[in-house]
Amino acid sequence: MKITSPRFVEPISAAKIVLFLVLLLFLPFVLSSPSDLSSAKGLDAVNGPKIIVLNYHKIDNMNISLSVRPDDFDKQMKYLKDNGFNCITPHDLYEAFEEGAELPEKPFIITFDDGYDDNYKNAYPILKKYGFKGTIFVITSFLDRGQQGYITWGQAAEMEASGVMNIESHTVTHGSMTELSDAEIRHELVDSKKDIEQRLGKKVEFVAYPTGTYNLHIASLVREAGYLGAFTIKYGNVDRASNIYAIERIPIFHTEDTYSSFLERLQYIPIFERLGWIKS
């Protein structure tokens, strides 16, 4: 006999109602935004150029949200290429915001968190094809012990030497830093930086906060460890109002229609900012 539980239905209905209310709230902004979409790509009179920082994890055909398919990734890169977006590096962003260097029009940055081996197999050739440069934030203890599913030090060295990928830190163990002591945070920051610098013969200048968690005290420890900046998973564009130790990003996921979701995410940011979202 089949038993249907009404209790199981209730939370889903509640979620739908919430979604409907959120859509209602956003509708006036969406309808009135065509002229504002240009602000996502252009200049803000006060805060200067807006930089889009894309955040990916895996680039492969697993059917999970963290895995953007290689053909979808290729299509997204083609969109950026065809629409006059200019790929810059985290160091370019630092020079522009901290030293007043010029930025190209419609600047964007490509980042990958965790250092999955599909970044080497799938993302690296696609970036090479479009002449773009990406940044991979690696978890150094994973590379040290040859953790399966992640890039090796050899692959990291090859990508770094090619000039196509820039290897930066995602700490030693990927522990959420808001749960660690100061001594542990310093170890995560300092030792991952040293490890990459010694293995790859480069200067490590940026870190991505594992799981995105941080606070201003942690940001001060990042600066103390010698980093020029740090990336969060806060949703939004980057401009001169941004904190270089809490840089916003736009997460790109696999969805039912990954390409449309990608285009929406590039364009919805002004709406978030107009809803009173404040950079900190």
Site of interaction with Zn ion (CB under 5 A):
113-114
Of 107 and 229, CB closest to Zn ion: 229
Closest distance to Zn ion from the beta carbon of 90 (Å): 16
Cβ-based neighbour number of residue 79 at 10 Å: 14
Output the six-digit token pair for 241. 């109002």
- Taking the least distance from each CB to Zn ion, the nearer of 113 and 160 is 113
- State which residue has the least CB distance to Zn ion: 113
Kindly tell me which of 138 and 271 has the beta carbon lying closer to Zn ion: 138
CA dihedral in degrees (166, 56, 95, 52; nearest 10)? 150
CB of residue 264 to Zn ion, shortest distance in Å: 24
Cβ distance to Zn ion smaller for residue 96 or 165:
165
CA separation for the pair 79, 69 (Å, rounded): 15
Smallest separation (angstroms) from Zn ion to the CB of 113: 4
Question: Are the beta carbons of 243 and 216 closer than 8 angstroms?
Answer: no
Give me the least distance between CB of 174 and Zn ion, in Å please.
6
With vertex at residue 90, the alpha carbon angle to CA 85 and CA 95, rounded to the nearest 5 degrees, is 95
Nearest of 242, 260, 263 to residue 50 by alpha carbon? 242
